[in-house]
Amino acid sequence: MLEAFVFATILLGFFGIIFKKNLVMKIISMDVMSTGVVGYYVVIAARNGLFSPIVGDRPVAYADPVPQAVILTAIVIGLSIQALMLVGVMKLARDNPTLETSEIEKSNTP
């Protein structure tokens, strides 16, 4: 059930990127899709167990820590990409009165 919600989040972000015309909404949709992908990896990493791999006195099923480290890296990279895209949109906003993709394409085509 949780995987279905995560997959729905990924699809919601994907369709937002395709169908939204405002550049800021496209960036937000990309962030939603990225959050869904991170959530999917967290669900996959927690399949074997839910406990942290800390030395203890009883054997339990542990969650794999390697995907967790990869996900932390993906979150940082996603945040930096989002910041870079917002700077690009700010530069576009200086030259264009709107952030709608169709209007920007009309004004920049020869």
Q: What is the pTM of this model?
A: 0.80
Residue owning tokens 């999917």: 40
The per-residue pLDDT for 56 is 67
- Residue 18 has a CB neighbour count (10 Å cut-off) of 9
The ranges assigned to domains in the chain are 2-105
Average pLDDT over residues 97-109: 84
Range with top average pLDDT, 43-47, 49-53, 81-85, 104-108: 81-85
pLDDT tens-digit series, residues 65-90: 787 788 899 999 999 999 999 999 99
pLDDT at 58 over 80: no
Query: Among residues 70, 85, 78, which one has the least CA distance to residue 31?
Result: 78
Lowest mean pLDDT among 33-42, 71-80, 95-104: 95-104
Q: Is 22 helix (H, G, I), strand (E, B) or coil?
A: strand
2-105: which CATH number, 2.60.260.20, 1.10.3720.10, 1.10.287.3510, 3.40.50.40?
A: 1.10.287.3510
* Helix, strand, coil fractions of the chain, as percent rounded to 5: 75, 5, 25
